[in-house]
Amino acid sequence: MSQADIQTAKLSNGNSLKVHTQLFINNEFVPGRGPLIDTINPVNEQVICKVHSASEEDVDAAVDAANAAFKNEWKKVAAAQRGRYLNKLADLMERDIDELATLEALDNGKSFVVARDVDITDSIACFRYFAGWADKIHGNTIETTYDKMCYTRMEPVGCVASVTPWNYSIMMPTWKLAPALAAGNTIVLKTSEVTPLGMLKVAELIKEAGFPAGVVNIITGYGHITGNHLTAHPRVHKIAFTGSTATGRRIMDGSAKSNLKKVQLELGGKSAQIVCADADLENAAVQACGGIFNNHGQSCNAGSRILVHEDVHDKFLELFVAEAKKIKVGDPFDPEVSQGPQINKAQFEKILEYIDIGKKEGAKLVHGGRRIGDKGYFIEPTVFTNCHNNMRVMREEIFGPVVAIGTFKTIDEAIEIANDSDYGLAGGVYTSSIETGIIVSNSLEAGTIWVNCYDVFDQSTPFGGYKQSGFGKELGLDSLKEYSHIKTVKIQLISRL
């Protein structure tokens, strides 16, 4: 490991931290041939460090390393041993959990406590879950005709590429790495150029865990250079992407123009939370508040539209605003803070623009709506009411701490409003009737529905979208299928009886 790779980052609490800044290719940190990229601390708008980015030549080198590792070693590694590598990585992440959480808080701006107790803890659990699957991936024997034997095999696709976002900069990569590796693939993972530091630390742990060279390669760079070349690469056999719908379209185009690689997309959302007249309003207010304001509203599944039965609107709004007022915004290293800054200046300005749009469209601002302080990208949790489904704040993904609340008269009307969206990633319903919960859940056009809760994840449950929220599943057994080819074998039996 070159000392040129290591830089010192200053924390807001006066401490410092060593960070990796180079690309991780073939189990080594190497300089990138692309432009250096400033990594900005969203708390104070100052440069944390400069990270290397991957040129097209660097992408080629990473893809070559992954293909060579797959052909020469990884495909020959026993499935149980793949599981042991994943478990070892989970152990090392648990050992270094505070350092990983510190990198998340520094680079991303999210609360250190949330990063440690949610993001990194869940990532560790995800690696362990898929470690358990590694030696249980198999096909079936199928009865066809008496003179033939038929069986299927689940085989790895080979070299996988993954492009991951900045909002969950360790957890989202983990959702790709864990099933891909458990299923026997090698991978080139591109982190967001906005938040690369956490995964470069994970790269160090991957090498320490003993993964063979080339099995995992972690690079960063701009989407129009590094991302485009990686996702359209003819020697990449599958792409897994989490990010915007617009970028998802470009990735599909790149697949079509190259080698028709498998494509898995987890894209944007404008999820609706439906509060019925019979709901436990105190619980609904708590859950719905978390559903939009978790991670500063920077979640693709954020419940950013809340539809409330007109009979309970005023009471729910009172409870909801009271919950929003409890959110402490500030320095991520303050243990009392749950909302840090937005990720960067561009996102910060976009959110403030949407707040102005909401006001101009006639929505009523009942809480928040302003910048906090004069340094850093802090925005108050913002609540609009009197919102109608033709308003931009009800239709477009804001990706920030802004919620639009409207009303409905009947359950059928609520379902119709909720489904009147280009997106279909998630949704929620709050009711004391299990029948209503099931009817609404079955009627909503979205990939995940929560009943009397929101934003609850588990490694065993699949997650993915409908419509322009993408296709394919993260997590659970279904995700292993995303990283596998299903092969059918039929054998003619020559009877000697």
Q: Which residues are catalytically annotated?
A: 266
Q: Closest by alpha carbon to 114, among 130, 100, 127?
A: 100
Q: What is the DSSP letter of 194?
A: T
DSSP 432-497: S-HHHHHHHHHHS-SSEEEES--S---TTS-B--EETTEES-BSHHHHHHHTEEEEEEEEE-----
Q: Beta-strand (E) ranges in 213-371?
A: 216-220, 238-242, 262-266, 272-275, 305-309, 364-367
Q: Closest by alpha carbon to 177, among 152, 154, 221, 209?
A: 209
Angstrom CA distances, 368 to 161, 225, 324, 327, 416, stand at 40, 38, 9, 11, 29
Residue 383: beta bridge partners? 367, 403
Neighbours of 51 (CB within 10 A): 24
Integer Cα distance of 399 and 346 in angstroms: 12
Q: Closest by alpha carbon to 271, among 320, 242, 305?
A: 305
Q: Closest by alpha carbon to 392, among 429, 361, 436?
A: 361
In b/e form, how buried is each residue of 430-469, taking b as 16+ CB within 10 angstroms?
bbeeeebbebbbebbbbbbbbbbebbebebeebbbbbbbb
